[in-house]
Amino acid sequence: MKIQVINPNTNLAMTTRIRRAAEAVARPGTQILTCCPDDGPASIEGHFDEAIAAVGVLEEVRRGIAEGCDAHIIACFGDPGLLAARELARGPVIGIAEAAFHVASLLCMRFAVVTTLSRTRIIAEHLLRNYGMTGHCTSVRCVDVPVLGLEDMGDELIELIARQAIDARDHDGAGAIVLGCGGMADLPAKLSERVGLPVIDGVAAAVKLAEALCELGLGTSKHGDLAYPLAKPFTGRFKHFGN
């Protein structure tokens, strides 16, 4: 089985962290193919970044389809381009936010999200609403660290996230914590021990869900809502999307 894991931003160090997290949980027979767009934002921290990054996601999905990938994972907590990617693909396409929400909802009555910047809280709230998960989420908390600042923080970052997670546990009624950034993919074990709750990283959750769907012989429904895009010419820099 080949699973494509796409980091929608262009930061190679973050792509490596995401790759390691995916490979750590993949079955022995699963090949993880990680990638990130050549063009696009170095990090995704708002609606504008998401919109630009979504085009890169779609280009990577097209490439993954051509390379025979069985499933595709969008490893950014905003799940940029998810539905458009599902129109392109026959295999499962899984966003790490949606994956993490569903896994967390199986473990507790109410989970909390701990993400990066306060300005991205609304993105997580929109996803919770769109995925029908609002009733399962007690709060979206932020550590107010830029996405690319996560890498160099070490234990300081653990403490910042743990503080929010403990407050969510003690004051919001959270029974589990969802990590709201692909750049936090290497932190669940340390945080779970520190906080005493299940801590879910969407990269790992998405890999296991993708494996399960592929092993069940299930892929994206191509009837109706997520049918392949209609054939039409595209012009200019998007000419290669045309058919």
Residues that bind ligand 5HY (CB under 6 A): 9, 43-45, 76-78, 115-117, 120, 147, 181-183
CB nearer ligand 5HY, residue 8 or residue 91: 8
In terms of C-beta distances under 8 Å and separation of at least 24 residues, what long-range contacts does 25-28 make, across chains too?
25/204, 25/207, 25/208, 26/207, 26/211, 27/1, 27/211
Q: Give the strands of the sheet with 176-180, arranged side by side.
A: 137-142, 111-115, 176-180, 199-201
CB nearer ligand 5HY, residue 7 or residue 138: 7
Minimum CB–partner distance for residue 228 and ligand 5HY (Å): 28
Give CA–CA dist 178/197, Å, rounded.
10
CB nearer ligand 5HY, residue 33 or residue 127: 127
CB nearer ligand 5HY, residue 105 or residue 115: 115
Give CA–CA dist 239/12, Å, rounded.
27
Other C-beta atoms closer than 10 Å to the C-beta of 129 total: 11
Minimum CB–partner distance for residue 209 and ligand 5HY (Å): 17
Minimum CB–partner distance for residue 51 and ligand 5HY (Å): 13
Minimum CB–partner distance for residue 97 and ligand 5HY (Å): 8
CB nearer ligand 5HY, residue 18 or residue 108: 18
In terms of C-beta distances under 8 Å and separation of at least 24 residues, what long-range contacts does 223-226 make, across chains too?
226/83, 226/86, 226/87
